[in-house]
Amino acid sequence: MLCDRNCVIDKKTLNSKLKDEAHSLQLQGNNDACEYWYWASKEDPADGEARIAYQNYPFQLNSQNPCSIPIHSSSYINLVTVTHGNDGLDSSSRAILQGVALRQQEFNGAQPNEPLLHILLAKVTNSSDQDNVAKQIIAATQVKGQDSVAGVIVPLLG
Protein backbone atom coordinates (compact mmCIF):
# COMPACT_ATOMS: atom_id res chain seq x y z
CA MET A 1 0.00 0.00 0.00
CA LEU A 2 1.37 3.43 -0.99
CA CYS A 3 0.46 6.23 1.45
CA ASP A 4 0.60 9.99 1.43
CA ARG A 5 -1.23 10.87 4.67
CA ASN A 6 -4.22 8.90 3.30
CA CYS A 7 -3.58 5.88 5.51
CA VAL A 8 -1.86 4.90 8.76
CA ILE A 9 0.80 2.24 8.40
CA ASP A 10 1.99 1.90 12.00
CA LYS A 11 -0.98 1.43 14.32
CA LYS A 12 0.98 0.18 17.35
CA THR A 13 2.29 3.50 18.63
CA LEU A 14 1.63 5.76 21.62
CA ASN A 15 -0.13 8.27 19.39
CA SER A 16 -2.31 5.91 17.32
CA LYS A 17 -5.58 7.68 18.23
CA LEU A 18 -4.25 11.02 17.00
CA LYS A 19 -2.97 9.37 13.80
CA ASP A 20 -6.35 7.71 13.21
CA GLU A 21 -8.11 11.07 13.65
CA ALA A 22 -5.64 12.79 11.30
CA HIS A 23 -6.24 10.05 8.74
CA SER A 24 -10.03 10.41 9.05
CA LEU A 25 -9.84 14.20 8.65
CA GLN A 26 -7.47 13.82 5.69
CA LEU A 27 -9.94 11.54 3.90
CA GLN A 28 -12.66 14.16 4.45
CA GLY A 29 -10.41 16.88 2.99
CA ASN A 30 -10.45 18.69 6.34
CA ASN A 31 -7.45 21.00 6.87
CA ASP A 32 -7.40 20.18 10.59
CA ALA A 33 -5.66 16.92 9.65
CA CYS A 34 -2.37 18.86 9.53
CA GLU A 35 -2.68 19.81 13.22
CA TYR A 36 -3.51 16.23 14.23
CA TRP A 37 -0.39 14.97 12.45
CA TYR A 38 1.56 17.73 14.25
CA TRP A 39 0.13 16.71 17.65
CA ALA A 40 0.85 13.03 16.91
CA SER A 41 4.47 13.91 16.06
CA LYS A 42 4.81 15.79 19.36
CA GLU A 43 3.12 13.12 21.49
CA ASP A 44 5.55 10.48 20.20
CA PRO A 45 8.69 12.17 18.77
CA ALA A 46 10.11 8.74 17.90
CA ASP A 47 7.23 8.09 15.47
CA GLY A 48 8.78 8.76 12.06
CA GLU A 49 5.47 8.20 10.27
CA ALA A 50 3.76 11.05 12.14
CA ARG A 51 6.75 13.39 11.65
CA ILE A 52 6.89 12.64 7.92
CA ALA A 53 3.13 13.11 7.50
CA TYR A 54 3.27 16.51 9.24
CA GLN A 55 6.39 17.60 7.35
CA ASN A 56 4.74 16.74 4.02
CA TYR A 57 2.37 19.68 4.49
CA PRO A 58 3.68 22.88 2.86
CA PHE A 59 3.92 24.83 6.12
CA GLN A 60 6.85 26.16 8.09
CA LEU A 61 7.67 24.01 11.10
CA ASN A 62 6.44 26.33 13.82
CA SER A 63 5.38 25.18 17.30
CA GLN A 64 3.23 28.28 17.94
CA ASN A 65 1.11 27.92 14.77
CA PRO A 66 2.00 24.55 13.29
CA CYS A 67 -0.19 24.68 10.17
CA SER A 68 -0.57 28.37 9.43
CA ILE A 69 2.56 29.81 7.77
CA PRO A 70 2.75 28.45 4.20
CA ILE A 71 5.96 27.65 2.39
CA HIS A 72 5.91 28.87 -1.19
CA SER A 73 7.75 26.09 -2.98
CA SER A 74 6.98 25.51 -6.62
CA SER A 75 7.90 21.83 -6.69
CA TYR A 76 8.72 18.73 -4.70
CA ILE A 77 11.21 15.90 -4.81
CA ASN A 78 9.15 12.79 -4.09
CA LEU A 79 10.81 9.77 -2.48
CA VAL A 80 9.16 6.51 -1.47
CA THR A 81 10.26 4.79 1.74
CA VAL A 82 9.33 1.11 1.96
CA THR A 83 8.48 -0.39 5.35
CA HIS A 84 7.71 -3.93 6.51
CA GLY A 85 5.16 -5.17 9.03
CA ASN A 86 1.49 -5.90 9.65
CA ASP A 87 -0.49 -3.69 12.10
CA GLY A 88 2.76 -2.34 13.51
CA LEU A 89 6.16 -1.95 11.92
CA ASP A 90 9.26 -3.93 12.70
CA SER A 91 12.06 -2.13 14.57
CA SER A 92 14.23 -1.65 11.47
CA SER A 93 11.35 0.01 9.59
CA ARG A 94 10.70 2.33 12.55
CA ALA A 95 14.40 3.25 12.68
CA ILE A 96 14.47 3.97 8.95
CA LEU A 97 11.39 6.22 9.22
CA GLN A 98 13.02 8.11 12.09
CA GLY A 99 16.11 8.71 9.96
CA VAL A 100 14.09 9.70 6.89
CA ALA A 101 11.99 12.14 8.97
CA LEU A 102 15.15 13.75 10.35
CA ARG A 103 16.75 14.14 6.90
CA GLN A 104 13.48 15.51 5.46
CA GLN A 105 13.35 18.13 8.23
CA GLU A 106 16.99 19.10 7.68
CA PHE A 107 16.64 19.27 3.88
CA ASN A 108 13.42 21.29 3.87
CA GLY A 109 14.63 23.61 6.64
CA ALA A 110 17.84 24.40 4.77
CA GLN A 111 16.04 25.54 1.61
CA PRO A 112 12.38 26.35 2.31
CA ASN A 113 11.69 28.04 -1.04
CA GLU A 114 13.42 25.43 -3.20
CA PRO A 115 11.97 22.06 -4.15
CA LEU A 116 10.92 20.38 -0.91
CA LEU A 117 11.46 16.75 -0.01
CA HIS A 118 8.10 14.96 0.07
CA ILE A 119 8.03 11.40 1.42
CA LEU A 120 5.52 8.73 0.37
CA LEU A 121 5.32 5.66 2.57
CA ALA A 122 4.88 2.16 1.21
CA LYS A 123 4.04 -0.78 3.44
CA VAL A 124 4.85 -4.33 2.41
CA THR A 125 3.38 -7.17 4.47
CA ASN A 126 4.22 -10.17 2.24
CA SER A 127 5.69 -11.07 -1.17
CA SER A 128 2.40 -10.69 -3.09
CA ASP A 129 1.93 -7.27 -1.49
CA GLN A 130 5.42 -6.39 -2.71
CA ASP A 131 4.28 -6.75 -6.35
CA ASN A 132 1.26 -4.46 -5.77
CA VAL A 133 3.41 -1.81 -4.08
CA ALA A 134 5.94 -1.97 -6.91
CA LYS A 135 3.13 -1.39 -9.45
CA GLN A 136 1.80 1.57 -7.40
CA ILE A 137 5.29 3.12 -7.30
CA ILE A 138 5.71 2.69 -11.06
CA ALA A 139 2.29 4.27 -11.65
CA ALA A 140 3.24 7.19 -9.39
CA THR A 141 6.34 7.85 -11.51
CA GLN A 142 4.22 8.22 -14.63
CA VAL A 143 1.72 10.88 -13.52
CA LYS A 144 1.71 13.67 -16.09
CA GLY A 145 1.57 17.27 -14.88
CA GLN A 146 2.73 16.36 -11.36
CA ASP A 147 6.03 15.82 -9.67
CA SER A 148 6.90 12.15 -10.05
CA VAL A 149 8.82 9.82 -7.78
CA ALA A 150 12.57 10.51 -7.85
CA GLY A 151 13.70 7.50 -5.82
CA VAL A 152 12.82 4.62 -3.53
CA ILE A 153 14.40 3.79 -0.16
CA VAL A 154 14.15 0.05 0.52
CA PRO A 155 15.66 -1.63 3.60
CA LEU A 156 17.49 -4.87 2.94
CA LEU A 157 16.02 -7.86 4.69
CA GLY A 158 18.16 -10.69 5.72
One-character DSSP codes across 50-105: HHHHHHTSSB---SSSTTTSB---S-EEEEEEEEEBSSSB-HHHHHHHHHHHHHHH
Tell me the whole-structure pTM to 2 decimals: 0.84
CA distances from 49 to 6, 100, 111, 138 (A): 12, 9, 22, 22
Answer yes or no: are the C-beta atoms of 134 and 80 closer than 8 Å: no
pLDDT band at 147 (very low <50, low <70, confident <90, very high): low
Tell me the per-residue pLDDT of 19-75, one tens digit each, with 9 for 90 and over: 899 988 988 888 888 999 999 999 999 999 999 999 988 887 777 778 888 777 767
